[in-house]
Amino acid sequence: MTNYDNIQYEVDGFVATIRIAREAALNAVDRKTLDELGWALREADGDARLRAVILTGAGDKAFIAGADISQMVELGPIEARDFAAAGRRVGDVIETMKKPVIAAVNGFALGGGTELALACDFIYASQKAKFGQPEVNLGVMPGFGGTQRLARRIGQARAMELILTGELIGADEALRIGLVNKVVPPDQLQAEAKKTAEKIAEKGPLAIASARRAVRQSAELSLAAGCDLEAELFALLFASDDQKEGMRAFLAKRPAKFEGR
């Protein structure tokens, strides 16, 4: 297991928890943290033991309070483009992983924090969580994919309002508009995310990866092309040991023992 400076990486059974650990900076991400986060996500995806990942922030105040402004203030256009690309790469890693990623948002998820949470498969939020894209207050705009993923998640009009006003919203409003999937008391957030991750881990990992891919690509495909992809992935699973085990276990009325083969 790799040692990281700004990331805490923990494994418990089939689930990895990746925690941004810059608590003194409200877990704001600088370039080093983005690079380490990408490495940690790749490490989890490459670990055959693991079947789900939880992404969260250290402490109880912030998930990711945004990008580290102290390191951005003097950037020129070329450096800014490079920094945005680093943030985008992390989102791309999350989206292309074989294992599902749950964002457990425990406090402020602002700017890049909202953007990286949006890249995850779904979001559980503490009642204390705050979301927003306040970049326009700083004379810039989202750069880690926020203009694209937020509009796809909650619709263009709502995304436009949040991005152009820089307004912050609480967890209940985020739930109402479909930004998050569930809101829980702060002391229950990690346990709730872990419970769902463990439930996913009980399923066939090849089936989970294929279903995740089909849903992810649905936004980019026509209905006909999406259904074609679904049928192809469905058929390919019948070449796996997991498909035989799952169906035989069902017929035998016993729990399936999936091995990801």
Residues serving a catalytic function are 115, 135
Residues lower than pLDDT 70 in the chain: 1
What CATH number was assigned to the domain covering residues 7-201? 3.90.226.10
Taking CA atoms, 168 is separated from 171, 173, 193, in Å, by 10, 10, 23
Q: What was the pLDDT predicted at 83?
A: 92
Q: Which two tokens stand for residue 142?
A: 């989202």
pLDDT score recorded for residue 162? 97
Residue 1: predicted pLDDT = 65
How far is the C-alpha of 151 from the C-alpha of 252, rounded, in Å?
Answer: 46
**3-state helix/strand/coil string of 75-122:** CCHHHHHHHHHHHHHHHHHHHHCCCCEEEEECCEEECHHHHHHHHCCE
Please tell me the pTM assigned to this model.
Answer: 0.92
Name the residue ranges covered by the structural domains of the chain: 7-201, 205-252
Confirm whether 7-201 and 205-252 share one CATH topology: no
| Predicted confidence (pLDDT) per residue in 14-23, tens digit | 999 999 999 9
pLDDT at 149: 95
CATH level 2 (architecture), domain 205-252 = Orthogonal Bundle (1.10)
